[in-house]
Chains A and B, each alone.
Chain A
Amino acid sequence: MIHSILTSLILFSVLIVGFAYTTVLERRFLAFLQARVGPNRTGPYGLLQPVADGVKLIFKEDITPARAEKIVFWAAPVIKTVPALIVLAVVPFGPKIAVPWFDGKWYRLSQGLIDVNVGVLWLLGITSIGIYGVVLAGWSSNNKYAMLGGLRSSAQMVSYELSMGLAMVVPVMLAGSMSVGDIIDAQNDAPILGWFVFQNPMAAAIMAIALLAEVNRAPFDMPEAEQELTAGYHSEYSGMKFAMFYLAEYIGMIAVSTVGAAMYFGGYHFAYVDQAPLLGPVVFGLKVVALLVVMIWVRGTLPRIRYDRLMAFGWKVMLPFALVAVAWSAVAVVLDEEVGGPAKLIMAVIAWGLFLAGASFWLGRVGRKSEPASAARVEVVSLSGGSGRMLGVPSALARAVSGRGGSAESEQPRSGGKRPG
């Protein structure tokens, strides 16, 4: 019992401190990706920036919009934040350690809050509860754009949960257990090559993309983009309530990085962790930081995906590929049981070959330049009056006023539908 109290306190404080420094990491790393410096005035290297942010948010006026549903408005940040904080309860951060206690005996304790038999189910269920917070925040704000943002965000999260769930089924099949600790331990067969990412890269990629979409993170952050919906579902929140949404978002980032590292990247296993179990959390922490850096890198590189394309991608691309990945892993597990021997290795090699071939083919098709003919047509139209174009004005008057475009316009063939009248 002391163990659970202590571990939950440690986990909570690590999450809060981790959230604070994730904000600094993001702002500084994103800045370096954009050839600028992040916050570096508040404390050395900007390390006291979270303190400044916290003080500012505490002193901000806590506004509740008129005619907003007060109870729901107050409760929505709580409903979003609490699941984000408790989702990591079932993830062990290191192998079991032997701890001496005051009654003279040694106890074997896990370095996690508790390792439930159905840990994966807990992960999926608790993330689903957080979605309620989003849609209730949007609805209770009495603001149609916040409502739209909330609906969009929750619809996106629900759609990508399908693919995420299927991508979580793959490690469950490969490990043979739904307990997160067992999944991590099953990746211990070989030092690095035992990680599940090497056995089913398709599922790992789907997991990565689905986790980004779960936390509304770029490039899937349309629901909270400033240009689109002026901060979406949390646009009416200020002060401490906004701080809770901010907290929930970043802790969600940390949580999904942890889940991704646990499921596919070997969790706390690395070279010497078996001999020194206390290194487990350190190794896990380094992996989580690496995944966070990748998330920030993605945010700094890719443009935002438009909402309808985002939903189409989730349902029409991710879901079929997730089903294929699950089928592949199912076949791999059965072959491994029946045939044994090098079946697992061969399946992994074939999986990687197909994945790399498919990825290079598909990525090579994306972003092909348009043909020269259309470029020339654009050239012609811009010559004939790009500066003097007036819409809604009779063409003769426009031609007279725009002056130098006169002769050019009468000679060049006009592409259809470019000018009214």
Chain B
Amino acid sequence: MNLVRGFVTTFKHVLEGPVTIQYPEQERPLRERFKGRHALKRYDNGLEKCIGCALCAAACPADAIWVEAAENTDEERYSPGERYAKTYEINMLRCIFCGYCEDACPTEAIVLEHEYRLSFSDRRDAIYVKAMLLDPLPPGVEGTPRRTEPGQFTRSIPVMENPK
């Protein structure tokens, strides 16, 4: 009888246990391409990948990114190209974590990583500045800004390989 079968069905859920994940003691495993907090990547030699082209700001559908570019000089070099991002800010309250900035970036500088525990108690703290977004230095590598030999970085945009 369908009525009895209905009751048995709901009772079976009691015996099979809940499917709830008890956060924060347990966390859901994230997929590889999960879009969390942004990070500005560096090359292995320590220079920043971001060349301040602001294509990410142009691509952002929520107008969350603010980029101000400045020219690299050999005394003060941040990136291997002609320009670097002097100011780079993302408004996390506007960001919709769509990943368009990651798709638009020509140097694979801005990527969305797996950090999703972003909380702030003041609206002004939602503006993440470059210092908060920049990747930490790998150990033993000189940081930016740095002095470089003149003539070493002459291209306006660095050599870019096909994305892997």
Contacts and interface: CB of A to CB of B under 8 A. Distances in A.
B29 interface: no
Contacts of B11: 33, 297
Contacts of B162: none
A162 B86 CA distance: 81
Contact of B18 (A35, A301, A359): A35
A149 B105 CA distance: 58
B2 A363 contact: yes
Nearest to A368: B2
Interface string A10-36: 000000000000000000010111111
A360 interface: yes
Which residue among B7, B10, B16 has the maximum number of chain A CB atoms within 10 Å of its CB?
A: B10
A34 B18 CA distance: 8
A35 B13 CA distance: 5
B20 interface: yes
A302 B2 CA distance: 11
A300 interface: yes
Binding site secondary structure of chain B: helix
B1 A360 contact: yes
B28 to A, nearest CB: 15
Nearest to A359: B1
Given A363-B3, A364-B1, A366-B2, A37 B13 contact: no
A302 B18 contact: no
B14 interface: yes
A36 B13 CA distance: 9
A100 interface: no
A32 B6 contact: no
A359 B10 CA distance: 21
A417 interface: no
A360 B13 CA distance: 25
A366 to B, nearest CB: 6
Contact of A301 (B1, B10, B19, B22): B10
A302 B6 contact: yes
For chain A, the bracket of interface size reads 10 to 19
B4 interface: yes
B88 to A, nearest CB: 39
B6 to A, nearest CB: 5
Contacts of A416: none
A367 interface: yes
A32 B11 CA distance: 9
Contacts of A37: 18, 20, 22
Contacts of B17: 35
Contacts of A302: 6
Interface string A138-168: 0000000000000000000000000000000
A301 B7 contact: yes
Given A37-B20, A37-B22, A32 B14 contact: yes
B17 to A, nearest CB: 8
A35 B6 contact: no
Nearest to B8: A301
Interface in B1-39: 1-4, 6-7, 9-11, 13-14, 16-20, 22
Nearest to A361: B1
A367 B6 CA distance: 11
Nearest to B20: A37
Contacts of A36: 18-20
A300 B7 CA distance: 9
Nearest to B2: A367
Interface in A218-276: none
Nearest to A30: B10
B38 to A, nearest CB: 32
Nearest to A364: B1
Which residue among A31, A32, A363 has the maximum number of chain B CB atoms within 10 Å of its CB?
A: A32
Interface string A289-331: 0000000010011100000000000000000000000000000
A121 B78 CA distance: 90
Interface string A360-390: 1001101100000000000000000000000
A34 B6 CA distance: 13
B10 A33 contact: yes
Nearest to B4: A363
A364 B3 CA distance: 9
Contacts of B7: 297, 301
A300 B22 CA distance: 23
A34 B20 CA distance: 10
B10 A300 contact: yes
A301 B5 CA distance: 10
A35 B19 contact: yes
**Which 6 residue pairs are nearest across A and B when measured between Cβ atoms?**
A363-B1, A367-B2, A37-B20, A35-B13, A32-B14, A301-B10
Interface of B: 1-4, 6-7, 9-11, 13-14, 16-20, 22
Given A363-B2, A364-B1, 15 more contacts: A32-B14, A33-B11, A33-B13, A34-B10, A34-B13, A35-B13, A36-B19, A36-B20, A37-B22, A297-B10, A297-B11, A300-B10, A301-B6, A359-B1, A367-B2
11 contacts: A29-B14, A31-B18, A32-B13, A33-B11, A35-B18, A300-B10, A301-B7, A301-B10, A359-B1, A363-B2, A363-B3
